[in-house]
Structure 1
Amino acid sequence: MKKLTKKMILIKNKTDSKKNYHIDESLLLLKKFSTKKFNESIDVSIHLGIDSKKSEQNIRGYTLLPHGIGRIIKVAVFAKSEKHVKEAVSAGADFIGLEDLVEKIKNKVINFDIVIATPETMKIVGKLGTILGPRGLMPNPKLGTVTENIFKTVKNAKIGQIRYRNDKNGIIHASIGKINFLEKSIKENLYALLISLNKAKPSQSKGIYIKKIVLSTTMGAGLKIDQSTLH
């Protein structure tokens, strides 16, 4: 069980865990209780009405947040052809390679947030399955990270495209900005994610699809959101 910090306890004492907060009120409270020591992330947990035990109902996808997530994203690209290498360089990829990149990742020489690969390089990337898989970083066509369009994919990753997948409890976890973002920007990022999730709704999912939305900061407790205030 996650240990409660002093800040979490403070927020719990100052808020109502049973209440569904207006989106605007929740953002004001999160900002009020945010630490001054560093720029915390704004995180969202979205409980979906899916049966995660059934593979056809599991959700995975990606969407471009209009205001990014407030930090620099480091991208590693596996590319073989001269065309794809040039695209990766032009788009601002941080690391580009093949076997040499495999060795750097194995030896923990580099730090990165996302791995993108062309289809022809996947046999090489497959050697990193035990390293990338547990971290959710293995390139996947469904997540748009196995692609021929290297330039666009890298560019989107650098400016704020996030990838998501539900956990075993059917919950999507994502960062949608920083505490110093304008409330309007945080809301627009959240809306972009919700629109993407609604488009990804499996036909087998019955009843309420988006069951609960909780916003929190890196060091803070969560606030449930009244979905009727999201528009």
Structure 2
Amino acid sequence: MQWLVDVFTWTIPVAGGGLLVREVIGNLFGLASALGGMARKVWAWPVGIIGNALLLTVFLASLFGGADHATLLGQAGRQVMFIAVSVYGWVRWRAASRGRGDHAPAITPEWAGRGGRTLLVLGLLIGTLALTPVFRALGSWEPVWADAWTFVGSLLATYGMARGWVEFWLVWVAVDVVGVPLLWSSGYYASAVMYAFYGVFTLIGFFVWLRAKDREGTR
């Protein structure tokens, strides 16, 4: 089974270090999922789950032979969370897509409303405050609040996407602004670059969904 170990630990030499191929592949699946999400396609969810499973092994570096990488508990935990919420989103979008036609978007975007926006904003702030000491006690990378922020924000953004809320794209922007320097400082360069790209991508996604909401006649 040595070949399997070699594939799992395959790295690309970069600036005196190594870039895990599975980190790159996991992020490419994430990008494909984001593109599918922008187009409101059901397949975005299972594609994203594959990427999440790969990235889970990356961020739990100490458990998977990555002694030269920091263990980011928030980033690892968010992959588990992604998988769980993605199953919910997958089921919800499949149900919503019935009767729409094979090539039609699965859902129609809508505003989150006052209650939804309150959930997103207060959830992000309170969740970060609550999880920061937990992640610190478990030995996550400093600044721990940034790890907690990206975890909570990712949870809320994914839930917002599953609900079809236009505002979920803006939550992703907030996640990316904090996530890029965190990932870069902890040595996850492929993920940091991908987060930087996502920052631009999510702004585009917001306006794409906003236009779709207006065009398809939602409130």
* TM-score using structure 2 length: 0.30
The structure richer in helix per residue is 2
* Greater relative contact order structure (CA < 8 Å, 6+ sep): 1
* TM-score using structure 1 length: 0.29
